[in-house]
């Protein structure tokens, strides 16, 4: 009689490409946030100050937040692209936080924020629905 130890090997389909797509998009969103954050830090006086909006910090403060999230998203995107299991959970948390910060940043940079939120939704879909296949591929 043969016994199988551990969990049965999951079938890997073509949908695993969605996870690699999510990793590459996370890298791009990380770079976009880094550039946007650096621009806001260096040129905070060029942005329109909107005191009645949802901004809780000044523009340079939000620049630092975007810069830090950009670095975290970049590192997580690289880890997700190579199939690290921990990167799936971290990526979901970071992408949700990034979407919320972009929603708050909407008053300052509306079109850019809407594009990044849409990309965040695609990344969430790819990680949540097809993330397990990428970890099965790396085993």
The tally of domains found in the chain comes to: 1
Provide the token pair at 94.
Answer: 């970071």
- Is residue 3 in a domain? no
- pLDDT tens column, 38-75: 988 888 665 555 555 555 567 788 789 889 989 999 99
- The burial of 59, by beta-carbon neighbours within 10 Å (0-12 exposed, 13-18 middle, 19 or more buried), is given as buried
> CA quadruple 86, 61, 120, 25: dihedral positive or negative?
negative
Residue predicted with more confidence, 107 or 93: 93
In a domain, 7, yes or no: no
pTM of the complete model: 0.73
Least confident of 6-10, 84-88, 106-110: 6-10
Mean of all residue pLDDT scores within the chain: 79
Residue 97 within any structural domain of the chain: yes
Q: In terms of residue numbers, what domain contains 25?
A: 16-46+53-138
Distance CA(95)–CA(125), nearest Å, equals 11
The answer to whether position 11 is within a domain reads: no
Mean pLDDT of 1-21: 63
């Amino acid at each position: 009689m043969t016994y199988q130890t551990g969990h049965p090997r999951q079938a890997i389909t073509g949908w695993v490409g969605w996870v690699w797509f999510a990793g590459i998009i996370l890298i791009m969103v990380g770079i976009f946030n880094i550039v946007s954050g650096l621009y806001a830090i260096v040129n905070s006086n060029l942005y329109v100050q909107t005191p009645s909006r949802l901004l809780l910090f000044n523009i340079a403060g939000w620049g630092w937040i975007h810069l830090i999230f950009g670095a975290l998203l970049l590192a997580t995107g690289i880890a997700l692209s190579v199939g690290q299991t921990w990167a799936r959970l971290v990526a979901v948390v970071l992408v949700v936080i990034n979407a919320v910060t972009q929603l708050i940043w909407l008053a300052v940079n509306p079109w850019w924020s809407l594009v990044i939120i849409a990309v965040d939704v695609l990344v969430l879909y790819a990680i949540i629905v097809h993330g397990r296949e990428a970890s099965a591929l790396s085993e």
